[in-house]
Amino acid sequence: AVERSLVLIKPDALRRGLLGEILGRFERKGLVIEALELRTMDAELADQHYAEHVDKAFYPPLKEFMTSGPLAALVLSGDEVIAVVREMIGSTDGRKAAAGTIRGDLSLSNRENLVHASDGPDSAKHELALWFPNL
């Protein structure tokens, strides 16, 4: 079924000049870009977006990183897009992500891992409402 996913191309990707490379992969896959905005996450949005992680030890440096500069927020749609995008970005740790995935090919970090994508229908709903309330 056709779904929507909230995808963030993180500040490390923009600093490294990888926005076009990453967007291009989603385009070539045939996904539809329904919204695309350059945004800078503030502390409040970070806490809402990462509500399930705020108490974890890795959260303070993650928050610092995610608020460190502009990111690209996008809404992608397509058949089973939530699972398709998760497959394309690879597992969290860039050192372990499979070759051929975005993180596997382009990241060597488990924090600065280039892309975030909703991990299921519930998080997609929450994240889409948070980032694109008018869509």
The residues assigned a catalytic role are 116
List 101, 107, 113, 118, residue binding ligand CMP (CB under 6 A): 113
Helix (H) or strand (E) holding 38, with range, is strand 32-39
DSSP conformational letter for 11: H
Structure tokens at 126: 């929450």
Q: Which residues on adjacent β-strands are paired with residue 74?
A: 7, 36
> Cβ(117)–Cβ(24) under 8 Å?
no
Nearer Cβ to ligand CMP (37/64)? 64
Binding to ligand CMP by residue 111, rule CB under 6 A?
yes
Residue 20 C-beta: closest distance to ligand CMP, Å? 21
d(CA 56, CA 79): 33
Region near ligand CMP per CB under 6 A, out of 23-31, 73-81, 96-104, 107-115:
107-115
Q: Which stretches of the chain bind ligand CMP, using CB under 6 A? A: 53, 58, 62, 92, 110-111, 113, 116
